[in-house]
Chains A and B, each alone.
Chain A
Amino acid sequence: MKFRTFAMFVGPSIFLMVLFIAAPLVSVFLQSFQITQPVVEMQEVETCTAGFLTQTCTTETKTVPKLDEFGNIVTTTEWVGLLSYQRVLQLDAVGAAISSGNWGDILNIDFWKALRFTLTFTLITLPFVIGMGLAIAMVVNNATKSMKGPVIFVSLLPFIITPVIGALSIRWLFYGDGIVTVWLEALFDTNLSVAANGWAVEFLMMFYRVWHVAPFAFVIFYAGLQTVNQDTLESAIIDGASRFDRLRYVIVPHLMPLIVFITLIHLMDAYRAFEEVVGFSSQAQRITLQWLTYDLLQPDDAGNRAISRASASAMLTMIGIVIILMPPLRRTWRDHKGG
């Protein structure tokens, strides 16, 4: 294919990606070193209230945003270096916490709290997603043929459902006097309040994620199981391999590339977790890195968005993405050079 034809085919897509992915990325990078603020003026304001005999007057200096001739607020943009990063990371507070020995205080700072939760969330859900996916795939593979269609249909539902709605549907089972909470209370004869307990909420968020992603792992493992070499299995039996040995030494190695694939996708997606916080309204207890940026982008009470701090936190989030992507990219590069 000539370069010109290639460019014609790929051009529109590249244009979209440059305009809406690459350009914003650069601008976020720049914004994270800048702060845009309204220009303020100090004004002396004299306020007088009616009093007996004389008025009581007080003069105070107020800061008032400066307006241009159209009545818009004038803003300036300054380069502030790493100030926004410092505000997100709050290293001095971290230092104080370390030197005073109260390590737990670090987790009161939003960024470190989010980082702690995002990492535990990602790493703890990973083995469960793979385990559940593999177990479901083997069990479905084992089921009678006529059952497979409906079973796959039902299994796909948690995966296909809108993430926020999926999280809500589990929240409604547990929060307040949700039906499962009632059952648990009857079972253990105690009084439970799931929504008030940070760890319970954290567990529910992980449970939701496994419930949501396991079908994806299942479908992929199920497709992989169809291509297991039957001859290898038979020779394993002749060699006296038990059922578990066959799983351990034939099936799992065969599925290894798929396990790597799912691990990669899951790490990328769980690291970006966001909908859980919305669905479980957990912002008071557990937040994720992406939710932190989202929250900074939301207008506050005065209608201002903390764009620079959001950019800084977004750039810090990116570091994690780079680390996750490093091994697969290196492998791709090796394959490309070798092949």
Chain B
Amino acid sequence: MSTPKALQQPLTLKLASNAFLIFWLLLAVFPLFWILAMSFKSPVDAFSSSALDVVIGPETLSRGNGLSALDIIFGVVVLWVSARLAMRWLMPMAAGDGLIQRVFSWLVACLGFGLLFVAVFFFLLPWVLGPLNDIAGPLGRPVLGLTTEHYNAVWVENEFWRNFSNSLIVTAGVVTISLTVGTLAGYGLARSGSNLAFWILVIALVFRALPPTVLVAGYLPAFVNSAEILRPWLGENAPTLYGQPLAVIAVLASINQPFTIWMLRSFFQNIPTDLDEAARVDGCTHFQAFRWVIMPVMWPGVITTGLFSFLLAYNDFLVTSLLLDQSNQTMVPAIAGYFNRETTTTDQVEAVAAAVSITAPLFLLVMVFQRQIVSGLTAGAVKG
């Protein structure tokens, strides 16, 4: 398609437009790139006043932690190939019939891929490159300082993996509950034109605007004293809900509900009612029509909404920091502990490494699910 002459842009405009685009991309990526670079350097380099030192890392290099040109080339090739393979193969690998089987097989495929990647990247590659560097001459000499000591300190010594597994439990729980409950409600609301449905949606919109602290102020006294409050019903087994991951899952899933049902409702509305009616004519009940006719075509909507539930639970600071105690804290509040006590520069770089560790899964998420995220963002908006 050729653009009409009148719509063609003068050269200056094109240049300005591309210059602004590059400016924005640099702005978007620079802070993230910078913490990534800092997290791999020794503290002297990470807080050096010369930008080049932070990227190259001479001090780190002089301590014997570095990569040669050969290492970099091979590393980049392996990363690129695995990213391509992941994008091409992982999505179609969701085989099997039914939602559970597909999610399960997909998770297994992802896990297998992850393990394979770790084996190749962290074990096979150094094993091959060690001898290669020795014979490669100038190409094999270390040029880029890089150390993983801070990651080691964060994950192994400071037991960040505990926080990671807590995050995993909380997010998995929130996504499961809010999707199960939300899909049912979203379908019901999309297919019912009643006044009641309208009012439920309006009230949900009001709930969507509530600041979470308002709600947490309501939970805290009840959760702290829940053992006494629930004793008449549950007897001696009444749990103290404060500090329980399960309680936090329920809270986050509920706070998430207004958003979830609005989004799923707009996806369900895109599915023609003729489908339900055909199924009903063939003798399905509403539930059967929902389960066997609508759900199979609702896949993209459910995945997208699931992504946003995941983000909400994974990124949450406020609710988890107030309702969980030290022993089962999730990752994001745990990092506050790092930068509050950052006294030495080593502590600071460890905080940076922890921050990068939290960001890495999100980075992968955008890479795999970019299309779904964009469609989710526009789902609610374009209809107004």
Interface residues of A, Cβ cutoff 8 Å to B: 1, 3, 5-6, 8-10, 12-14, 16-17, 19-28, 31, 36, 132, 135-136, 138-140, 142-143, 149, 151-158, 160-166, 168-170, 172-173, 176-177, 179, 182-183, 211, 215-216, 219-220, 223-224, 227, 233-234, 237, 243, 257-258, 260-262, 268, 271-272, 274-275, 278, 281, 289-290, 293-294, 297-298, 305, 307, 310-311, 314-315, 317-318, 321, 324-325, 328-329, 332-333, 336
Is B250 among interface residues, defined by CB-CB distance under 8 A?
A: yes
Asked if B210 contacts A25 (CB within 8 A), the reply is: yes
Interface centre among A140, A162, A314 (most CB of B within 10 A): A162
Asked if B317 contacts A139 (CB within 8 A), the reply is: no
How far is A294 from B333 in the complex, measured between Cα atoms in Å? 13
Given A25-B214, A321-B210, A139 and B21 touching (CB < 8 A)? yes
Asked if A142 contacts B214 (CB within 8 A), the reply is: no
Distance in Å from the Cβ of B361 to the closest Cβ of chain A?
10
Asked if A325 contacts B373 (CB within 8 A), the reply is: no
Distance in Å from the Cβ of A195 to the closest Cβ of chain B?
12
Distance in Å from the Cβ of A34 to the closest Cβ of chain B?
10
Report B9-60 residues with CB < 8 Å from chain A CB.
Answer: 9, 13-14, 17-18, 20-21, 24-25, 27-32, 34-35, 38, 47, 49, 51, 54
Please give me the residue from chain B that is nearest to A256 by CB atom.
B384
Given A139-B24, A160-B365, A268-B209, A281 and B359 touching (CB < 8 A)? no
Interface centre among A233, A237, A278 (most CB of B within 10 A): A278
Is B158 among interface residues, defined by CB-CB distance under 8 A?
A: no
Is B205 among interface residues, defined by CB-CB distance under 8 A?
A: yes
How far is A256 from B378 in the complex, measured between Cα atoms in Å? 15
How far is A36 from B156 in the complex, measured between Cα atoms in Å? 43
Asked if B213 contacts A9 (CB within 8 A), the reply is: no
Please give me the residue from chain A that is nearest to B261 by CB atom.
A13
Asked if B34 contacts A169 (CB within 8 A), the reply is: yes
Given A179-B51, A314-B213, A165 and B219 touching (CB < 8 A)? no
Is B77 among interface residues, defined by CB-CB distance under 8 A?
A: no
A-side contacts of B175, CB under 8 Å:
none
Asked if A281 contacts B210 (CB within 8 A), the reply is: no
Asked if B381 contacts A223 (CB within 8 A), the reply is: yes
A-side contacts of B366, CB under 8 Å:
153, 156-157, 160
How far is A314 from B219 in the complex, measured between Cα atoms in Å? 13
Asked if B359 contacts A161 (CB within 8 A), the reply is: yes
Contact mask for chain B residues 355-384; partner A; CB cutoff 8 A; 1 contact, 0 none? 100110011011100100110011011101
How far is A260 from B48 in the complex, measured between Cα atoms in Å? 45
Asked if A172 contacts B188 (CB within 8 A), the reply is: no
Main DSSP-derived SS at the B contact region: helix
Distance in Å from the Cβ of A142 to the closest Cβ of chain B?
5
Given A13-B185, A318-B214, A163 and B315 touching (CB < 8 A)? yes
Additional 7 contacts, C-beta under 8 A, given A24-B214, A162-B359, A272-B212 = A24-B219, A139-B20, A177-B47, A177-B49, A182-B49, A311-B217, A325-B209
Please give me the residue from chain B that is nearest to A141 by CB atom.
B17
Tell me which of A13, A17, A153, A223 contacts B382 (CB under 8 A).
A223
6 CB contacts below 8 A, A to B, read A10-B200, A21-B215, A24-B214, A24-B216, A169-B31, A333-B202
Tell me which of A155, A168, A216 contacts B24 (CB under 8 A).
A155
Given A13-B181, A28-B218, A275-B317, A162 and B213 touching (CB < 8 A)? no
Asked if B209 contacts A151 (CB within 8 A), the reply is: no
Asked if A20 contacts B192 (CB within 8 A), the reply is: no
Contact mask for chain B residues 315-343; partner A; CB cutoff 8 A; 1 contact, 0 none? 10110001000000000100110011000
Interface residues of B, Cβ cutoff 8 Å to A: 4, 6-7, 9, 13-14, 17-18, 20-21, 24-25, 27-32, 34-35, 38, 47, 49, 51, 54, 180-182, 184-185, 187-189, 191-192, 194, 196-198, 200, 202, 204-222, 250-251, 253-255, 257-258, 261, 286-287, 290, 311, 314-315, 317-318, 322, 332, 335-336, 339-340, 351-352, 355, 358-359, 362-363, 365-367, 370, 373-374, 377-378, 380-382, 384
Distance in Å from the Cβ of A37 to the closest Cβ of chain B?
13
Given A151-B21, A297-B216, A156 and B4 touching (CB < 8 A)? no
Tell me which of B29, B198, B377 contacts A216 (CB under 8 A).
B377
Given A36-B221, A160-B311, A13 and B370 touching (CB < 8 A)? no
How far is A13 from B339 in the complex, measured between Cα atoms in Å? 38
Asked if A25 contacts B215 (CB within 8 A), the reply is: yes
A-side contacts of B184, CB under 8 Å:
9-10, 12-13
Asked if B215 contacts A135 (CB within 8 A), the reply is: no
A-side contacts of B339, CB under 8 Å:
168, 281
Interface centre among A157, A258, A260, A328 (most CB of B within 10 A): A157
How far is A281 from B339 in the complex, measured between Cα atoms in Å? 9
B-side contacts of A19, CB under 8 Å:
254
Tell me which of B34, B187, B381 contacts A172 (CB under 8 A).
B34
Asked if A9 contacts B188 (CB within 8 A), the reply is: yes
Given A139-B24, A156-B370, A157-B29, A293 and B214 touching (CB < 8 A)? yes
A-side contacts of B30, CB under 8 Å:
173
Tell me which of A139, A165, A260, A315 contacts B359 (CB under 8 A).
A165
Please give me the residue from chain B that is nearest to A332 by CB atom.
B202
Please give me the residue from chain B that is nearest to A167 by CB atom.
B31
Asked if A179 contacts B54 (CB within 8 A), the reply is: yes
Asked if A290 contacts B34 (CB within 8 A), the reply is: no
Please give me the residue from chain B that is nearest to A186 by CB atom.
B49
Asked if B217 contacts A28 (CB within 8 A), the reply is: yes
Given A10-B185, A156-B373, A290-B213, A1 and B218 touching (CB < 8 A)? no
How far is A282 from B303 in the complex, measured between Cα atoms in Å? 37
Asked if A321 contacts B209 (CB within 8 A), the reply is: yes
B-side contacts of A268, CB under 8 Å:
208-209
Asked if A172 contacts B215 (CB within 8 A), the reply is: no
B-side contacts of A172, CB under 8 Å:
31, 34-35, 38, 352
